[in-house]
Amino acid sequence: MDDEPGFDRFVAEQADALLRYGYVLTGNPHDAADLVQETLLRVRGAWSKVRRKDNPNSYARITMARLHISIWRRHRREHLTGDPPDRVGHEVFPLEKQQRLWEELSALPRRQRAVLVLRYYEQLTDAEIAKVLGISPGTVRSQASRGLDKLRSSLSPSPATHGSPR
């Protein structure tokens, strides 16, 4: 048995929002669903503590970010990207520019992408991001600026900077 009052309600209220966050973090629906389920599993495991001490929602979101950049996720994801092509073609955006932005975001190293998502989707400060990801604020800044640079150069119409070598 477990001390779980409120867990169902938490899932009912927050799962959609967590999936949205997971989707922009991971860039595809499969990994988002995986990430959310794994996160909820951990939230469930720590529920009595989380409910008592922390805000479950913020605990879940921090767990998602950490899981996403952790080696555990990376391995799983690498494994799954070698997997079925059935995710190809899911992410098609109406505007070419949006499509390009999405593809560029997908091409970023996952830490850079995580920093950008935490900054511009979660609206966290660099200090908060540093704490969540366990890196220094200086690294947050440099990762963010590098990520933005890549997006900027690829979104720029100049053919000279588009598609820089990788």
Partner 1 sequence: MNDLENELSRFLVDAAERAPRVPAGLSATVKARHRRRRARSAALLAAVAVVVVIGGAGVAVNAVRTSVAPQPVANATDKPTGRAKPPADVIPPSIEKVWPQAVHKIPATLPDGRDYYPELLLDDRTLLVITGITGGKRRFLWSYDLHSGKPTRIAEIPLTKGSQSFADDIAAGDGNIVWWAFKEAGKNQVAQIWTVPVRGGTPRPVSDVPMGNATKQLGQITDLTVVGKNVIFAYEKGGVYRVPLSGGQMQPVKGAERQRILQWPWVGAHRVENGFAELFNAETGERRDAVVAADEEVRCGVIRCAGVKVRYEKVKVTCTVKPCTDKVKQKRVILRSFVRNRDGSGERPLPDPTLYGPTDLALERFFKQILHGPRGESVMALYDVETGRMADLGLRPDAKGLISIPQSQLDALMTYSIGDKMYVLDLSTIE
Q: Which residue among 58, 78, 125, 162 contacts partner 1 (CB under 8 A)?
A: 78
148 binds partner 1, rule: CB under 8 A: yes
Between 48 and 58, name the residue whose CB sits nearer to partner 1.
Answer: 48
Residues from 19 through 38 that contact partner 1 (CB under 8 A): 19-24, 29-30, 32-33, 37
Q: Which residue among 55, 127, 138, 162 contacts partner 1 (CB under 8 A)?
A: 138
Between 29 and 54, name the residue whose CB sits nearer to partner 1.
Answer: 29
Between 55 and 162, name the residue whose CB sits nearer to partner 1.
Answer: 162
String of DSSP letters for the chain: ----TTHHHHHHHHHHHHHHHHHHHHSSHHHHHHHHHHHHHHHHHTHHHHHHHS-HHHHHHHHHHHHHHSHHHHHHHHHHHTS-GGGTTS---SSHHHHHHHHHHHHS-HHHHHHHHHHHTS---HHHHHHHHTS-HHHHHHHHHHHHHHHHHHHSS-TTTTT---
Q: Which residue among 117, 124, 126, 129 contacts partner 1 (CB under 8 A)?
A: 117
Between 55 and 62, name the residue whose CB sits nearer to partner 1.
Answer: 62
